[in-house]
Amino acid sequence: MQSSKGRPRGVGAGQESSIEPLDGHDPGPAEEAVRLRYDDPWYDALASGWGESEGAGAPAAVPRACEAGVRGVAAADVYLEVQRSAAFQEVRRRYRRFVVPAFAAFFAWYVGYVVAATTAPELMARPVAGAVNVALLAGLGQFLTTFLLTWAYARHARLRRDRAALELRWDTQELTRGVNGGAS
């Protein structure tokens, strides 16, 4: 089976396993698609090229539990270890560096609009052009800034966090797969 980028889907650690038909007949194409099972819930993410190491065979940064071959740790310990990792902390730091100032600015703008509308009605009623007044422009500005903030957040996430978060998610899946004895 090929991905949309032309690479085989079986590349990497995500392995395909099939479930044998119980009735003994040869499955058709529709049954074949249902019969295949992917062990990784984010399997299609690798088809897009994300999460793959630069260069062939380059080892990914995997936390200690998997390197040591420890099988006796619980999945909760794996998640705690990933949460304490420097890569996870960097993703959270990048998130907070955008969200906290963006929230503060947008909230101040929203509260300022509400306060101005209730305490300074003569300012808000001041005409700008024809029937358009300051209140109408400020209200439309609320919508505009909402769309701009959404665009800026999505762009920031795509450029600064998504790749690192996907690599962390992949490493976490690899570690939990090792804890669960090869099953997801």
pLDDT score of 165 more than 70: yes
Query: pLDDT, tens digit, for every residue of 174-183?
Result: 888 876 665 5
60 has a pLDDT exceeding 50: no
Rounded Cα distance, 105 and 54, in Å: 38
Q: Tell me, what's the pLDDT at 134?
A: 93
Instruction: Say yes or no to pLDDT of 137 above 90.
Output: yes
- Least confidently predicted of 55-64, 105-114, 119-128, 146-155: 55-64
